[in-house]
Amino acid sequence: MGKEKWNERMIAVLSELYPVETTAYTAGILGMSETAVKNKARELGIIKIAKSKWLVRAEHIRSHFQEKSFSEMGRELGITKTSVSRIATKLGLKRTKKEIGKVSSRIRGELIRRERRRVIFGLDPMTRIKVVSNRARVRLRSRMKGIGYIVGRERNILYYTVSLIRREHLEQRGVKLGLRFLPLPEDEVSLLTATI
């Protein structure tokens, strides 16, 4: 496949396709071998534009590298965390131990919050992270808060107002689980009425 085979039309096609299409596709359209296409492109200084999908992924990884895990970025991009790692390596991106710790800490915090929500709604955990010491107490406390009991700062004391219809059976269950039920202190009542 010598140079004499190339004409202006073919060079125009090469210039248009080679930067954005695969070499095999470009060679097929031109009726040339892949080697001939690569050599001519090199001779003319025509270079491949990185695949647009790769560019988008690379940009996403570059902009989220410091705060997101490889798994998170992979999920967002629809690729594996190994692929994210490869792209990050090609881009020369590296994390310090402190940055790795920060990302891990944030992810663990999010997992714990998600697991706590599952406990409150009575759902089975998704991980082995122990987020509460007493699931039944957490669920009951959440349920009673929904009824109108006020959870104290101590978390194990629930206050009731004068107007609240108390649920004796729930309170009895709560006492067995380590909860205490007290009337809302006077100063708290005045604060509540002032905010209403």
Looking at residue 178, what is its pLDDT?
86
Looking at residue 115, what is its pLDDT?
80
Model pLDDT for residues 2-33, shown as the tens digit of each residue? 455 899 999 999 988 888 777 888 999 999 99
Partners of 158 in the β-ladder = 151, 181
Asked if the model's pLDDT at residue 195 lies above 50, the reply is no
Model pLDDT for residues 80-138, shown as the tens digit of each residue? 989 899 889 988 999 988 988 888 888 888 888 888 777 667 677 677 776 656 778 88
Q: Where are the domains of the chain?
A: 3-44, 52-94, 135-195
Lay out the sheet containing 180-183: strands in order across: 150-151, 157-160, 180-183
Confidence of residue 70 (pLDDT cuts 50, 70, 90): very high
Calculate the average pLDDT of the chain: 84
Looking at residue 33, what is its pLDDT?
93
Looking at residue 51, what is its pLDDT?
64
Tell me the C-alpha distance between 77 and 64, whole Å.
Answer: 12
Tell me the C-alpha distance between 119 and 131, whole Å.
Answer: 9
What 8-state DSSP symbol labels residue 148?
A: T
- CB burial class (10 A; 0-12, 13-18, 19+) of residue 175? exposed
Question: Percent of the chain beyond pLDDT 70?
Answer: 87
Q: If you count them, how many residues does the chain have?
A: 196
Looking at residue 50, what is its pLDDT?
62
**Helical segments of the chain, H only:** 8-17, 23-30, 34-44, 52-64, 70-77, 81-90, 97-120, 135-147, 168-176, 186-195
Rounded alpha-carbon distances, angstroms, from residue 41 to 14, 22, 24, 28? 7, 13, 13, 15
Confidence of residue 40 (pLDDT cuts 50, 70, 90): very high
Tell me the C-alpha distance between 152 and 181, whole Å.
Answer: 10
